[in-house]
Structure 1
Amino acid sequence: MDLIPAWFFELNPVIQALIGGLFTWGVTSLGAALVFFTRTVSNKLLDGMMGFAAGVMIAASVWSLIIPSIDMAEAQGIIPWLPAVIGFLLGGLFLRICDYYLPHLHIGLPRDAAEGVETKWKRTTLLVLAITLHNIPEGLAIGVLFGAASLGLDVAGGATVAAAIVLALGIGIQNFPEGVAISMPLRRDGVSVWKSFNYGQLSGIVEPISAVIGAAAVIFVQPMLPYALAFAAGAMIYVVIEELIPESQMHGNTDLATVGAMVGFCVMMVLDVALG
């Protein structure tokens, strides 16, 4: 972590979480900005990138969230696996409820395949809401880990500022293809360059907001930490299985998407183990 200036480690954890969330939002915007240079991206590339994003999220859920949750619970004298199981399932339930009620449309599907409550919102709005929905747990994960680090729990599960930075870096990396995946199809459908870009980057704005909420919550309610980490992991895994993996294989590029997921998993695992 020598590349991170010393002053960053002295900041309030809520500010650290905000910066981490702004970084991941910025990388989403970079992905969306590709519409300024090209009108289309091949489905093979998009599917490989979506698979990569899925692999990163799976690895981040395990190394950055589930394992620290188990270690923290053990340090607190709780049955080690209990908070991880409860938090993980609650995270998935939270996303299921959001998925059921929030109007949204998964990438590559026609307007009449929209999920959630009935609405007359445009297809572009529904596409943005789909990405926004699964960015919430990513922001929460960053915030919760920065909040945990501020409580001096680094000996109980690897909740250090460095680990939180690595998590933000990994999520940022997988946000790039997400920005591409939403802006490019819009551009291909005839939406203007600026609108395609704005819709793509707008999907990531929820991350700094949810990161701040996550950091503030765990700082004030310390006993919930193991549950909060597992909650974020459960929500992210729900997104991976329900959305990213199916979308990455929608065009028949199953092998490419699978290889992308394995590479993404390894990249995040190496980042977390080597740097976190």
Structure 2
Amino acid sequence: MARTPHERRSVALLLLVLTGCVWGVGSAPPGPVVPGPPPEPPSPSAVAAIEQGRPAGYPIGGIDISSHDHRKFTVHWPTEVAAGSQFVYVKATEGLSYVNPHFDADYLAARAAGRYVGAYVYARPDKGDPVGQAEHFLRHARFTRDARTLVPFVDLEWPYEGIKAGPCYNLSPERMRAWIAAFIGRIEREIGRKPMIYTNTYWWNPCTGNDTSYGDYPLDIANYTKGPPKLPAGWTTFALWQYAPGNPDEAHSHDRDVVNGGPAGLRALAWP
């Protein structure tokens, strides 16, 4: 998920006129959403490619999206639905000021398509102020206890191109551990449950000094190999596996994920 800064083009919403059924922490419910024109039907070739690319033994797939996905194409929800993509994570914020300008549109479109939906935040340890970054995310993310909203995840990984920092954001393992604890702790206190951590073994282990403190937090592991992913220090299992990175130059190409544990595993990530 290491990408250029994410700025979205609005995606046409689907089929339903949504009222303010979900809202950001500390904000008023949104007004009605006017649907756009009917979408084109699913692409049979894209559906087949998505289904064939899903790792064996993990029948429930989904996507995570950001403005990067809309550089040339928008998410084609009928194709995603036809291919069995049952959940969507949408980037909400990054650092202390960035807000994905198309977060609301993508979030509501995914809900209109009947998907489980959650928000994520791209962490910026180089920007400091972990509590401020967490609060910025909480102001703009959407949460509702409806058993369809997924627990948010915190994206902790290598800096994308354009961030002027070393692989570990110029922090020592000790300082990185303190930053992560403050950041995740603020989100956990607000939402009342452990957020999910998105990372990969080859960033987490060296940058945190093999921190084992988060083994009971749900893990979204990024690993683009055919076999089961190698887990970071502290974890013995994962909740999601991002098995394929997206390519914004190709239609229907998004970061792709599978759920560990089938339908029960997906329900466990939603609000009770």
What range describes the TM-score normalised by the shorter chain of this pair? under 0.3
Q: Which has the higher strand share?
A: 2
